[in-house]
């Protein structure tokens, strides 16, 4: 029988929010508390469990992947499809198949991203030096562990490292890998965490092993004697700087300059680039060279093409006749990514804490870690030998009377009584009795038991030696040194990155400064620019302009003058007059937004010209404010082409002026009022995007419409429009003031 639903229950069913406690209630929470509860756990997870490598040289994603491949038997077996590895790794790494496969690709031999790849690969894995060369899907490629991985997992089954639960507590994984060499220094490792990053450059394996051995023997060893410089998988030349290298070795911070390796083909008059810096890609280099050629800064190259094939990287530059290839390369090293810096930040996790370490400290921490691994391995083997010795001692007692042992087993009625009876009969413990009871019938002969018990003496000797080793730190280090020598001998290879010692030619200017000569500069309302020599201007007729366009600025300057083009998006683009070709009055000129690569929809509204960045920029805004900015604020040490925040965007710009000294400006509002302002009343600012000071008060729905430099005769009674204090509302013009000032641009 159906029961009648109460009225309040019907109401709650109709209104879902009625059954949610505190629905719609806004609770204030301090931002610090929110960050501590929500953001800090995420930040710590990224630092400790994702982006920063540990002392074994691996991030968690690398370690999980390699350990999965080891458990799949891929250290000695045949290759398997990458998709199989990715699927198995998801039992340890829950971040998704694509992320796992990208990790696998970077570890592979085919990608050429590592000095000593950990994965032996077959198929297309892309290339680290190419931006566009994509890797194939995981179902097409095959992988197995490379031979060097035997040094990562050789002791892992002998209790050398701790094991922890995976993310769902269904299996165990190693917290660290018991690497037998400082892999943290051998392969590059770059990661960006929250609030910190890590960037470890690779070093030659043989040099790392030799350096570690030397430091184990002498902690004061000079690192540069054995560790010459970083060694990158892509080769190239290390621009040698001893002071910088020593700084990196001691502090873990600094940068290493790497330049491309090239060869000049005299027969074909071309340069073949075969090795590039690790931070560059072929496409980025080509894009930069094309940009420089279009800008006219490089005129020696007639053609460029990427000839990379199965034999490796090859970028070919065809030269014009008579070009010096070495001089051109010096220019390219300065202007393109063919020479680039690898920034070092040796930030690693030690005992779960991020720490920036120098090479000496990293080797010291790794040695302590490896010493612990070796001790645990020896202790594990010691326990095994002690257990075996214990069993053999029990077997030796059986040897005294084999017939008695057989008789005890035969006369025992119940199977569960066999072990206790053997314990009583021979005075052995339960473990020994279990071992004796499990001996096969065919082995119950004197010869077999004698052979087994002969091992007792050797076991005692081995146990004594192991206990002696565990008690002596020098012997532990001797084992580590022996293993390092073996690794260096087995897997060492010649340096790929050669050392280049800079010469005087490298310090010479990239190119001679452009010729300096007088020019006339023109800038129009629609953003067109012309540079015309005085001679050409005298011979020219009328200026050619687009329909409706007009010249906004015309001034005399020189070919080496700096040009600043201010845009309607509060940005400024910098160029030199020498960047533009000389032209004639009969052409339209260069369209600045296109020439300087401005953003879409961005227009140039004003051009400033300077040689020493003296004087001021004056900006007037629709809200009646004006800002006077030191022109030196736009000067940069580096050759930057674009500066954001060129002026305040709090209110639309009405007009901009470049002034060498203070003067009078006539302001006109949309309500017809006019005001004469002396710029001496406006304080100069060094901050480019300063909002300025109020100069002309604007009423609601009114704005500053026009600003012009004041010239004698623009108004009949100029004193009427001048005030003692700013801001001011201005005055309405009289009939006698009607004239030039009312012509709006």
Residues involved in catalysis: 140
- H-helix segments, 511-626: 534-539, 592-595
Question: In this structure, are residues 619 and 653 in contact, taking their beta carbons and an 8 Å threshold?
Answer: yes
- H-helix segments, 47-127: 60-71, 82-89, 97-107
DSSP-derived 3-state class of residue 110:
coil
In 276-428, the DSSP E strands lie at: 301-306, 315-319, 339-345, 347-350, 353-356
Residue 527: closest CA among 599, 590, 600, 598: 590
The set of residues, in sequence order, having a beta carbon less than 8 Å from that of 387 and lying 6+ positions away, is none
Q: CA 408 to CA 414: how far, in whole Å? A: 11
- Distances from the Cα of 302 to the Cα of 264, 265, 285, 321, 337, angstroms: 15, 15, 16, 9, 20
Residue 8 is classified by DSSP as H
Q: CA 311 to CA 5: how far, in whole Å? A: 81
Question: In this structure, are residues 661 and 694 in contact, taking their beta carbons and an 8 Å threshold?
Answer: no
Largest Cα–Cα distance in the chain? 142
The C-alpha R_g of the chain, in whole angstroms, comes to 40
Q: Between β-strands 237-239 and 498-500, what pairing exists: parallel, antiparallel or unpaired?
A: parallel
The set of residues, in sequence order, having a beta carbon less than 8 Å from that of 700 and lying 6+ positions away, is none
- Distances from the Cα of 593 to the Cα of 513, 588, 639, angstroms: 25, 14, 19
Q: CA 233 to CA 496: how far, in whole Å? A: 7
DSSP-derived 3-state class of residue 163:
strand
Q: What is the DSSP string of 205-254?
A: HHHHHHHHHHHHH-TT--HHHH--SB--TT--EEE--HHHHHHHHHHSEE
CB-hemisphere CA count at 13 Å for 699? 7
End-to-end Cα, the chain, rounded Å: 89
The set of residues, in sequence order, having a beta carbon less than 8 Å from that of 441 and lying 6+ positions away, is none
- Distances from the Cα of 116 to the Cα of 167, 192, 483, angstroms: 30, 22, 18
Question: In this structure, are residues 177 and 67 in contact, taking their beta carbons and an 8 Å threshold?
Answer: yes
The set of residues, in sequence order, having a beta carbon less than 8 Å from that of 502 and lying 6+ positions away, is 239, 240, 241
Question: In this structure, are residues 394 and 436 in contact, taking their beta carbons and an 8 Å threshold?
Answer: yes
CB burial string 78-102: b at 16+ within 10 A, e below: ebbebbbbbebbebbbeeeeeebbe
Helix (H) or strand (E) holding 61: helix 60-71
Q: CA 572 to CA 659: how far, in whole Å? A: 17
């Amino acid at each position: 029988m159906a029961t009648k639903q109460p009225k309040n229950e019907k109401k709650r069913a109709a209104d879902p929010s009625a059954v949610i406690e505190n629905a719609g209630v806004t609770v204030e929470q301090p931002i610090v508390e929110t960050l501590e509860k929500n953001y800090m756990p995420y930040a710590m997870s990224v630092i400790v469990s994702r982006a920063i490598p540990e002392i074994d040289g691996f991030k968690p994603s690398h370690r999980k992947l390699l350990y999965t491949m080891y458990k799949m038997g891929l250290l000695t077996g045949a290759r398997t499809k990458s998709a199989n590895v990715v699927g198995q790794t998801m039992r340890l790494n829950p971040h998704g198949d694509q992320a796992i496969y990208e990790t696998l690709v970077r570890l592979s031999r085919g990608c050429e991203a590592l000095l000593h790849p950990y994965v032996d690969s077959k198929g297309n894995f892309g290339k680290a030096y190419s931006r566009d060369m994509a890797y194939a899907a995981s179902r097409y490629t095959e992988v197995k562990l490379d031979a060097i991985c035997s040094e990562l997992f050789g002791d892992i089954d002998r209790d050398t490292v701790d094991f922890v639960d995976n993310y769902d507590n269904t299996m165990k994984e190693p917290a660290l890998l018991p690497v037998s060499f400082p892999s943290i220094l051998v392969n590059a490792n770059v990661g960006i965490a929250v609030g910190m990053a890590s960037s470890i450059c690779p070093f030659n394996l043989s040099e790392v092993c030799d350096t570690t051995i030397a430091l184990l023997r002498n902690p004061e060893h000079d690192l540069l004697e054995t560790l010459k410089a970083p060694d990158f998988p892509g080769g190239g030349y290390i621009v040698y700087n001893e002071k910088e290298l020593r700084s990196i070795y001691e502090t873990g911070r600094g940068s290493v300059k790497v330049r491309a390796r090239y060869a000049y083909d005299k027969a074909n008059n071309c340069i073949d680039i075969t090795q590039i810096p690790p931070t560059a890609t072929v496409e980025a280099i080509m894009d930069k060279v094309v940009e420089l050629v279009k800008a006219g800064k490089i005129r020696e190259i007639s053609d460029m093409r990427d000839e990379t094939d199965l034999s490796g990287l090859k970028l070919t530059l065809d030269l014009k006749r008579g070009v010096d290839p070495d001089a051109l390369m010096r220019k390219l090293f300065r202007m393109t990514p063919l020479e680039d810096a690898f920034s070092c930040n040796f930030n690693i996790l030690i005992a779960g804490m991020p720490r920036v370490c120098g090479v000496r400290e990293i080797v010291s921490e790794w040695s302590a870690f490896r010493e612990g691994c070796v001790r645990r391995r020896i202790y594990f083997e010691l326990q095994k030998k002690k257990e075996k010795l214990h069993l053999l001692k029990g077997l030796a007692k059986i040897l005294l009377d084999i017939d008695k042992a057989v008789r005890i087993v035969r006369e025992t009625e119940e199977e569960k009584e066999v072990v206790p009876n053997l314990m009583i009969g021979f005075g052995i413990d339960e473990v020994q009795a279990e071992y004796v009871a499990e001996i096969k019938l065919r082995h119950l002969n004197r010869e077999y038991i004698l052979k087994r018990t002969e091992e007792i003496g050797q076991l005692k000797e081995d146990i004594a030696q192991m206990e002696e080793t565990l008690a002596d730190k020098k012997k532990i280090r001797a084992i580590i040194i022996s293993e390092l020598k073996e690794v260096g001998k087995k897997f060492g290879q010649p340096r790929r990155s050669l050392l280049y010692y800079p010469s005087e030619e490298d310090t010479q200017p990239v190119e001679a400064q452009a010729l300096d000569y007088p020019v006339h500069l023109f800038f129009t309302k629609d953003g067109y620019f012309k540079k015309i020599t005085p001679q050409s201007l005298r011979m020219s007729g009328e200026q050619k302009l687009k329909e409706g366009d007009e010249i906004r600025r015309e001034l005399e300057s020189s070919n080496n003058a700096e040009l600043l083009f201010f845009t309607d998006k509060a940005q400024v683009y910098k160029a030199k007059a020498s960047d533009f070709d000389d032209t004639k009055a009969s052409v339209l000129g260069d369209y600045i937004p296109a020439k300087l690569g401005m953003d879409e929809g961005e227009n140039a509204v004003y051009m400033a010209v300077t040689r020493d960045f003296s004087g001021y920029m004056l900006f007037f805004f629709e809200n009646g404010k004006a800002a006077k900015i030191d022109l030196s604020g736009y000067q940069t040490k580096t050759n930057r082409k674009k500066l954001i925040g060129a002026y305040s965007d709090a209110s639309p710009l009405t007009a901009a002026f470049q002034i060498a000294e203070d003067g009078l400006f006539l302001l006109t509002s949309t309500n017809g009022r006019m005001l004469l302002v002396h710029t001496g009343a406006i304080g100069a600012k060094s901050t480019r995007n300063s909002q300025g000071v109020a100069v002309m008060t604007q009423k609601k729905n009114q704005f500053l419409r026009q600003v012009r430099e004041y010239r004698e005769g623009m108004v009949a009674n100029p004193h009427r429009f001048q005030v003692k204090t700013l801001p001011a509302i201005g005055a309405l013009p009289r009939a006698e003031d009607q004239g030039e000032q009312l012509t709006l641009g």
